[in-house]
Amino acid sequence: MKRVLITGAAGFLGSHLCDKFLDNGFKVVGMDNFLTGSEDNISHLFGNPNFEFYHHDVTKFVHVPGEVDYILHFASPASPIDYLEMPIQTLKVGSLAPYNLLGLARVKKSRFIIASTSEVYGDPNVHPQKEDYWGNVNPIGPRGVYDEAKRFQEAITMGYHTFHGVNTGMVRIFNTYGPRMRLDDGRALPAFMSQALRGEDITVFGDGSQTRSFCYVADLVEGIYRLTMSDYHQPVNIGNPQEITIKEFAEEIVALTGSKSKVIYKDLPKDDPKVRQPDITRAKEILDWTPKVDRAEGLKLTLDYFQKKVK
């Protein structure tokens, strides 16, 4: 059986990746320090003989005994609330951690995949965003700790690929949603759903005309899995190109939940991107991947999870 190390295993995406690889016949080594992850997300795996877990901070030296065929680095605070509260940890997990893990990949001869992000494009001047666009990022703005950590991750990963011959891949993740997101995550969907379910005002920043493109987690995980199984080393956008304004998205959530919540507006945070839409041509051509779950179906599945959490 092939063996995969997944960092951030107790997080939203990391836990779904653990499930995916176990379902596909892998031995999975999960690693997390629970900075933003939750043991609840992986508690169902603890009795699985093909799953082992290390409670460890990946910004410190990482050692895993035995063979490791794949390493997926998905540890990082990922919401604005998290990385504004933990700027130094965010920068360390985007710099020291990939340095440690790429060294491990070099020794173990593992294929190494990093979780990059659409935030490397910043507040883009190109729309939709293609992988050959270099981005428009403010390195010293409030979002810079996250954006630049991810951009550095890509740079060091390419450095190890070019100079050490490490087999690497990079997934640029666009807005993703689904079960196991935290209610207090701070991102649009959990914020809107938790506010609607509690009957609170729904908070939209700016005038709501900024756009996002939301991908259901099962689709995203399938794309990441296909990239991992490939030998492609350039960045690949994985996301759903169906674009919607934040105002329209808030109204969708109100209608879905049957809430009496009103949409209210607050000042737009500094450097908040005005548009976000992936060009997924590369994913289609290289990975034969397109998203399958439409937003209406994905939101219903997510609502079921959030209703239980709010209770």
Which residues are known to be catalytic?
146
User: Can you tell me whether residue 4 is helix, strand or coil?
Assistant: strand
Matching residue, tokens 């016949």: 25
CA 133 to chain centre: 20
State the alpha helices, DSSP H only, in the chain.
Answer: 12-23, 80-85, 87-93, 96-108, 144-164, 188-197, 217-229, 246-257, 281-287, 295-310
Q: Distance (Å, rounded) from C-alpha 262 to C-alpha 200?
A: 8
Contacts of 49 (CB under 8 A, 6+ apart): none
| Eight-state DSSP code of residue 265 | E
Angle at 72 between CA 67 and CA 76, to 5 degrees: 135
Burial class (CB in 10 A: 0-12, 13-18, 19+), 231: exposed
* Peptide bond before residue 128 is cis, with ω within 30 degrees of 0: yes
Q: Distance (Å, rounded) from C-alpha 3 to C-alpha 26?
A: 6
